[in-house]
Amino acid sequence: MKSVIKGTGYILAHTPDMVFYNGSTQTTERIVNPNSEYLKELPKHLRNYDQAVSYWPHQVYIGNKTPEELANTEEPYYDKTCDCKERYGKYGEIIPEDEFYLLLQASDVFDLVMLDKNFVSKTKDKFAKDPYIDESIVNRVKEGFDLKDIEKCVNEEHAEGLYIDFKLVGCVKKAHDVDPNFSAHVIHENLVAKASSVLALIAGVKNAGISKDDVDFVIDCCEEACGDMLQRGGGNFAKAAAEIAGLNNATGADTRGFCAGPSHAIIEAASLVAAGTYKTVAVTAGGCTAKLGMNGVNIVKKGLPIMEDVIAGFCIIISENDQKNPVINLDIHGKLAVGAGSAPQNVIGALVMDPLAEAGLKVTDIDKFSPEMQNAEIMKAAATGDVAEANYKMIAALAVKRGDLDKAAVATFPKEKGVKGYAPIQGHIPSGVPPIGYFRDEMLKGKMNRAMIIGKGSLFLGRLTNLFDGVSFVIEKNDGSKDSGGASEEEIKGLIAKAMKEFASTLLKSE
Amino acid sequence: MDLENQKRVKEFAEKFGAENVVVLLGAAEGEASGLAAETVTNGDPTYAGPLTGVQLGLTVYHVCEPEVKAEFDAAVYEDQVSMMEMVLNVDDIIKEMSSIRSQYCKYLK
For the segment B81-106, what is each residue's pLDDT rounded down to a tens digit? 988 898 899 999 999 999 999 999 99
> A27-84, pLDDT tens digit by residue?
999 998 899 999 999 999 999 999 999 999 999 999 999 999 999 999 999 999 999 9
Q: How far is A331 from chain B (nearest CA, A)?
A: 27
> Other CB atoms closer than 10 Å to residue A312's CB: what's the count?
29
Spell out the domain ranges in chain A: 3-320, 327-476
Q: Between β-strands A327-335 and A3-14, what pairing exists: parallel, antiparallel or unpaired?
A: antiparallel
Fold of A327-476: Peroxisomal Thiolase; Chain A, domain 1 (3.40.47)
Residue A265, SS3? helix
User: Distance between CA atoms of A20 and A34, rounded to whole angstroms?
Assistant: 13
ipTM of the predicted assembly exceeds 0.90: no
pLDDT in tens, A180-217: 999 999 999 999 999 999 999 999 999 999 999 999 99
| Contact yes or no for B83 and A401 at CB 8 A | yes
Q: For residues A356 and A351, give the distance between their C-alpha atoms in angstroms, rounded to a whole number.
A: 9
Whether A125 shows a pLDDT value over 80: the answer reads yes
The band of A484, judged by pLDDT with boundaries at 50, 70 and 90, is low
State how far residue A45 is from chain B, nearest Cα, in angstroms: 18
**E strand or H helix at A25:** helix A24-32
With CB atoms and an 8 Å threshold, state whether B83 touches A397: yes
Which residues of chain B does A342 touch, with a Cβ-Cβ cutoff of 8 Å?
A: none
User: Would you kindly state where each structural domain of chain B is located, as residue ranges?
Assistant: 3-104
Across A175-203, b (16+ Cβ under 10 Å) vs e yields: beeeeebbbbbbbbbbbbbbbbbbbbbbb
Measured between alpha carbons, how far is A7 from A346 in angstroms, rounded to an integer? 33
Q: Is A312 helix (H, G, I), strand (E, B) or coil?
A: strand
Residue B29 to residue A384, Cβ atoms within 8 A: yes
Long-range contacts of A355-362 (CB under 8 A, 24+ apart): A355/A472, A355/A474, A356/A332, A356/A452, A358/A332, A359/A331, A359/A332, A359/A474, A361/A332, A362/A399, A362/A404, A362/A405
User: Rounded to 5 degrees, what are φ and ψ at A329?
Assistant: -85, 100
What is the rounded CA–CA span in Å between residue A142 and residue A127? 13
Q: Closest approach of chain B CAs to the CA of A160, in angstroms?
A: 23
Nearest CA to A1 among A313, A351, A347, A279? A279
CA B31/CA A103 separation, integer angstroms? 40
**pLDDT for the residue numbered A320:** 97
- Give CA–CA dist A310/A16, Å, rounded: 7
Terminal Cα distance for chain A, rounded: 45
A343:B79 CB<8 A: yes
Q: Collect all residues from B whose CB is shorter than 8 A from any CB in A.
A: 28-29, 31-32, 35, 46-48, 79-84, 86-87
Cα–Cα dist A30/A298, whole Å: 17
CA atoms of B109 and B101, how far apart (whole Å) = 11
Instruction: Write the DSSP string, A209-257.
Output: T--GGG--EEEE--S-----TTSTT---HHHHHHHHHT-TT-EEEE---
Has residue A107 got a pLDDT over 80?
yes
Contact list, A341 vs chain B (CB under 8 Å): 80
In this model, does residue A488 exceed pLDDT 70? Answer: no
Residues in B closer than 8 angstroms to A410, CB to CB, are: 86
User: Which of B28, B31, B80 faces A345 most closely, judged by CB atoms?
Assistant: B80
Residue of chain B nearest A349, judged by CA positions = B83
Q: What is the total residue count of chain A? A: 511
Q: Is A429 exposed, middle or buried (0-12, 13-18, 19+ CB in 10 A)?
A: buried
